[in-house]
Amino acid sequence: MGNSQAPSTPDEDGPSSSNSAGGIGGIQNRSSRRASNKAYCASLSKLFEKLELTADGGNTHPGELSRNTFEDVFHGPLHKFGSLMYSMMVNGHSNKERITREQLLNLGKKLLRNLMKKNNMNIILDCLLMEINCLINKMLQEPQTFDRKSNRVRRDALEMVEISYALTLSASKIPYCKDERDDKIFESVVTSMFGVESEIGFDAFESWLKWNCPHFFCGVHNWVFSILTGSQLPSELEVAPVPQLEGFAEGRYLVTMGMLWILSATIPTCFTKSPTGETPSNNPLLNSYHLLMKLARLSRCQSWTLLYSSSQHGMSLNRFMHHVISYSAPTMTVLSFEGRNLYCVAADCGWRESSSLFGGENCMLIQISPVYRVIQAGEKMLMWNEFSRDLPKGIQIGKGNQNKVLFLPQEFDEIHHYGVPCALHKIEVWGCGGATVREAQVKQKQWEAKDTQRQQSRKLRLDLDSNWEENADKKLLEWGGIKTNHSQR
């Protein structure tokens, strides 16, 4: 019945592996696995040799690495992750202060095997459930649960969030940056994990990830793969400022780099620019790399364009309309209001005036602060009413006709949060469709401006060219009792 079993791992090339696949397909699969295994071993060996070159005087055993030698190559926010990787390598070994080449190769192949063993790469927990479980348990130093009452545990959970953020930046080749606003957002993520319960098990944590942050560990996986297969030390991963993302790093916008990362771990793929097609390579490492990079999200947010900012363009419905209308692609609208509230409206279609609900299946309403969580998801949750007298005029956000989560009156002077009026602070709208969609919007607005000018010029010409005696305005004035002829005055 074909290959109904799970694919074999790169180092499983024995008879049992060959029997699971038949004919030419089985031979090709075994050949591919051998090629991958060979490439993995070569890159991991090269990484070990580089680590040996960084050894200090305390590393006195040839062919082995001391704990300090290994952990010292992980700087700053990556140091904790380096300590975890070292602990995984010495697990089950009597000597905890040194690792051998074999231990590094075994761990590296295990991690790579887990990364690539699933075909469905969209749900990251299915790829690395065992690795994530081990990572979380080691970070929290608890076998199965988080303990909300323990400050140490909450601190370690926060550290897990910060490490994932740091590794994502590194894997995306973006310089590390974090400010106090990011710290508050990361704290809101931890608060969301624990909720109102005194403790939460791993199954509950997995459910939280799937609903709120299904791509939370994508950056971790990309970074691990880059290090293990690229034969690079963490310090050798090149970083360079990304012009399109510099504003987030410099704090120029309501959206910060940390907020951008956590949102990219939540939203569907339609909000990030599609990766360019790659041609298959004979190098299995490159093919695996391209597969993993399809999950990369933060770097692809550089295609986002700021459409409207209340700080720059003014807080009014007219200015909002001017800047967002005619943009026919997904948008991210971020609202800041009273009570430290931050919300994001992820609309998978452009904003438009309508007296009925609109929005596709990829729409999301996300609360960013004080608790990070997906409030609602799905179609028909947006309404922008300007003309209907039967409905409140303004922008409504939320499913159903009653109990909207957010309502923005047309005056733009406040926002209603579950029906409670709150002071509105800032609004930003980001277009996620790339340069082509933005150019199309600009051209449409230019055409509309020219058409308006053309209509005004046409009306002026009609007024000047018409016979005053036959002009409709003259008739209206006379009907009102006003003498229009000079001789009659």
pLDDT tens for 445-462 read 888 878 777 776 666 555
Token pair listed for 13: 């090339």
What pLDDT score was predicted for residue 278?
Answer: 43
Q: Does pTM top 0.85 for this prediction?
A: no
Q: What is the pLDDT of residue 171?
A: 80
Domains and CATH numbers, the chain: 15-301 (1.10.238.10), 304-432 (no CATH), 436-488 (no CATH)
- Tell me the C-alpha distance between 17 and 9, whole Å: 9
pLDDT in tens, the chain (489 residues): 333 333 333 344 444 444 444 454 555 455 555 666 676 777 788 888 888 887 766 666 777 888 888 888 887 767 777 787 787 777 766 667 888 888 888 877 777 766 655 433 333 333 333 444 445 444 444 434 444 444 446 777 788 888 889 888 888 878 888 889 999 999 999 999 988 776 767 777 888 989 999 888 888 777 877 777 765 666 655 555 554 566 777 778 999 999 999 999 999 888 876 544 444 444 444 444 444 444 456 766 777 889 999 999 999 999 999 999 999 999 999 999 999 999 999 999 999 999 999 999 999 999 999 999 999 999 999 999 998 988 999 999 998 766 689 999 999 999 999 999 999 999 999 998 888 888 898 898 888 878 777 776 666 555 555 666 666 777 777 777 777 665 554
CB atoms within 10 A of CB 417: 18
**pLDDT tens figures, 51-109:** 888 776 666 677 788 888 888 888 776 777 778 778 777 776 666 788 888 888 887 77
Q: What are φ and ψ of residue 333, in 5° steps?
A: -110, 120
Write down the pLDDT at residue 298.
73
Instruction: Please give the full DSSP string across 216-248, using - where no structure is assigned.
Output: TTHHHHHHHHHHHHHT--GGGS-----GGGHHH
What one-character DSSP code corresponds to residue 270?
G
- The count of other CB atoms within 10 Å of the CB of residue 148 is 19
Query: What CA–CA distances, in Å, run from 48 to 44, 76, 89, 429?
Result: 6, 21, 13, 47
Q: What is the pLDDT of residue 339?
A: 94
Rounded distance between C-alpha atoms, residue 48 and residue 52, angstroms: 6
Cβ partners under 8 Å of residue 350, min gap 6: 324, 325, 326, 327, 328, 329, 331
Q: Measure the CA angle with vertex 378, ends 274 and 405; round to 5°.
A: 120
Distance, in Å, from the CA atom of 394 to the CA atom of 408, rounded to the nearest integer, reads 6
